[in-house]
Structure 1
Amino acid sequence: MGMNVGNAGGAGDPEVMVDINTTPLIDVMLVLLIMLIITIPIQLHAVNLNLPVGTPPASDVQPEIVKIDIDADSAVFWQGLRVADMAELEHKLAGLAEMTTPPDIHLRPNKAARYAVVAAVLADTKRLGLTKIGIIGSEQFVE
């Protein structure tokens, strides 16, 4: 990668340089690749939660609590009684949503339960407008 100065043999034209310096091309390609990676939006699976703001009002009235359990076989229990199918659970949750002051829902999934069942219960509660949901039994996940 040198340059010929003067005539080497004295009689002919200087040789034409046929090599291309690819270093700047590679640098530009890497910069474009990095810019592409930075500008691609990161796909995250997230659950949006509306957390309470401020201090809760003082009240002596204890809210009603509805317990929904999901066992290791992914069977759903409402207040200790087995629910036949998801349609029955949705009907019961719709009844809670129609109340003037909906009760607190305590969801207690077993760690061996299928995630699809737990997610379906949470999706039904959110779709029906029930916002007071708590996941109970998280200490079973700590090993």
Structure 2
Amino acid sequence: MENNPTYLFVVAAALVDQNRNILVQQRPQGKPMAGLWEFPGGKVEDGESPEQALVRELQEELGVVIETGTLVPAAFASEPLDGKHLLLLLYTCHEWTGEVQNLEAHDMKWLPVSALEELEMPPADIPLVAQLRAIL
């Protein structure tokens, strides 16, 4: 058991479109876990709330504007990662302004929640799929 683990706080969004499909993106080459599929999001910076971080990350990665009030906490994962301890907070979001664009990922696609189970995903994202399936 770690005495004083260093925590890595990460936020992600399951953007849900009008057809109940969820956006996933493929990690680019040159990054850890390149080629794996994940929910868009990123690290929470010092001084940010999880919701503020997610709004910022989605603007940077997808070019969309999201109001913090439209983010609904959905699930979380807790897992060791590279000598740290990852806490991944997943939110659902059904409303945003602007057209979703692929600004940083290798690829992205909209899929029904059932199809997410077939994707190769980072270990922390895998249990989130089952949790999403239960609530959507």
Relative contact order, CA 8 A, sep 6+: which one is greater?
Answer: 2
More helix by share: 1
Is TM more than 0.5 here?
A: no
TM-score if structure 1 supplies the norm length? 0.29
Based on CA coordinates, which of the two structures has the bigger radius of gyration? Answer: 1
More strand by share: 2
